[in-house]
């Protein structure tokens, strides 16, 4: 009994199914390197249209374009922007940072529409 063709077919079906269907993944562990070479352990969640970095409590993490460090993200109108709180430091209480606050639903749907129009 030759198992190699069966295993090959099984692997092919797994690869094909991942190409055909998207998957929303949550809490995938990521290690980021800060500009001072320190490590920041966090998570990423999302799908092919939008993914975002966050800590274990769901607070968003964004890299600053000014200094390259990762900061907790705060909502400014309909976008997330780096706050003054670095993500490798303890987040003080009473900050204007919402957990599990990614992009707005409207922005997500616009990204998905742009993506599908390219196909």
Q: What is the pLDDT of residues 55-113, one digit of tens each?
A: 999 999 999 999 999 999 998 887 889 999 999 998 888 777 888 888 888 888 998 89
> Whole-model pTM above 0.85?
no
**Mean pLDDT across the chain, nearest whole number?**
84
Whether residue 114 contacts residue 105, with contact meaning beta carbons closer than 8 Å, is answered with no
Indicate if the alpha-carbon torsion angle 23, 112, 53, 105 is positive or negative: negative
By C-alpha distance, which of 91, 101, 93 is closest to 53? 101
> Distance between CA atoms of 97 and 95, rounded to whole angstroms?
5
Residue 40: is its pLDDT beyond 70?
A: yes
* β-bridge pairing 70-76 and 60-63: antiparallel
> Distance between CA atoms of 94 and 72, rounded to whole angstroms?
13
């Amino acid at each position: 009994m030759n198992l190699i063709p069966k295993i090959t077919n099984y692997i092919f079906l797994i690869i094909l199914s991942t190409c055909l269907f998207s998957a929303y993944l949550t809490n995938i562990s990521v290690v980021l390197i800060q500009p001072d070479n320190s490590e920041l352990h966090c998570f990423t969640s999302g799908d092919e249209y939008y993914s975002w970095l966050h800590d274990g409590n769901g607070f968003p993490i964004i890299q600053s374009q000014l200094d390259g460090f990762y900061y907790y993200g705060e909502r400014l109108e309909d976008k997330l922007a780096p706050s003054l709180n670095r993500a490798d430091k303890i987040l003080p209480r009473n900050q204007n940072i919402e957990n599990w606050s990614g992009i707005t639903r409207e922005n997500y749907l616009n990204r998905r529409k742009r993506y599908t129009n390219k196909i």
